[in-house]
Structure 1
Amino acid sequence: MMLFTEVRGLAVLPPGGSGPLGTVTSLTVDIVSGSVSHVRFRDGRFGREMALPWDAVHTIGPGAVRLRAAAVPEPVPSQHDLLGHRVLVDTGTEHGTVLDVAFDTRTARVLALFTTRGELPADSLLGLGEYALVVRAG
């Protein structure tokens, strides 16, 4: 298990040990599957934001995100960063903002969300938009 805040700032390393491609800025979550879909990073050369699909990640852990041989950056997906997002319950009440997200580094599955009002189970995720993350009342 790892937290999104632990991943931010990690170097993105290609296979073969050459220099880093950039630094992780955030992780994109596919709400439908409840998994991390992309690793977003700032390109070390030009400062552009790029994204790699989760399938391109070989390992992720303290110190770096290491990529597989066939890792090709993609345009950044339009999903919003979960961290700092307002949380609304499907009944219309507010549940604070997202402080952190725990996920499994092997499967990319989201395990839990930590908000300013407490922990939410990953299976409560319903939708993510520009305004808020919507979760199922539990």
Structure 2
Amino acid sequence: MLFSESIGRKVVSTTTADTVGTIAGFFIDPHNRTVAGVHLKKAKSGNALAWSGISAFGIDAVTIGSSDAIVDADDEASLSALEGKTHNVVGKRVLSTGGVELGKVDDVDFDTETGAITSLIVGAEQIEGRALIGVGSYAVIVDHLQQ
């Protein structure tokens, strides 16, 4: 599933069947090449949901067991280090380890079961998720041998 398809998706508690927020963005863990969690908006308390708190990431909604899984990103150690513009991937330039600019990230494809980054969409190209090395304030770095 693409990040662009997921933004605005409702997050629903399976305990209460209530909408507890909507997806506003993603926390990327470049070292594990996974989605570590999601940014939320319209949540009553908190602004983030760790991937481990997600029951299912479906086509129509994301389900969680309880709204208790929603936290403030600043208070969740696994997410606070991945927060901010520095860690936003979409729109950032992509550099290979060989120092070649490959374009800008237009979108990210991820596995809804595991949260694994499957590919970075850079123009008409797809760079395999396993090539992702790092995300910084200047660029996303990919291993030029893994492309």
Per the shorter chain, which TM-score range? 0.7 to 0.9
SS in 1 for 2:141: strand
Contact 1:27 1:36 survives alignment (8 Å): yes
- What residue in structure 2 maps to residue 60 of structure 1? 57
Contact 2:15 2:65 survives alignment (8 Å): no
Higher helix share: 2
Contact 2:47 2:70 survives alignment (8 Å): no
Does residue 20 (structure 1) correspond to residue 19 (structure 2)? The answer is yes
SS in 2 for 1:120: strand
Q: CA deviation at 1:19?
A: 2.8
- What residue in structure 1 maps to residue 77 of structure 2? none
- What residue in structure 2 maps to residue 93 of structure 1? 100
- What residue in structure 2 maps to residue 104 of structure 1? 111
- Deviation beyond 4 Å, 4+ runs, structure 1: none
Amino acid corresponding to residue 118 of structure 1 in structure 2: E
Gaps of 5+ in 2: 75-79
Does residue 51 (structure 1) correspond to residue 58 (structure 2)? The answer is no
User: 2: CA distance between counterparts of 1:94 and 1:117?
Assistant: 15
Q: Which stretch has the larger CA shift, 54-63 or 72-81?
A: 72-81
- What residue in structure 1 maps to residue 144 of structure 2? 137
SS in 2 for 1:21: strand
Instruction: State the TM-score, normalized to the length of structure 2.
Output: 0.82
Instruction: State the TM-score, normalized to the length of structure 1.
Output: 0.87
Q: Aligned in 2, Cα 1:127/1:93: closer, same or farther, shift over 3 Å?
A: same
Contact 1:99 1:115 survives alignment (8 Å): yes
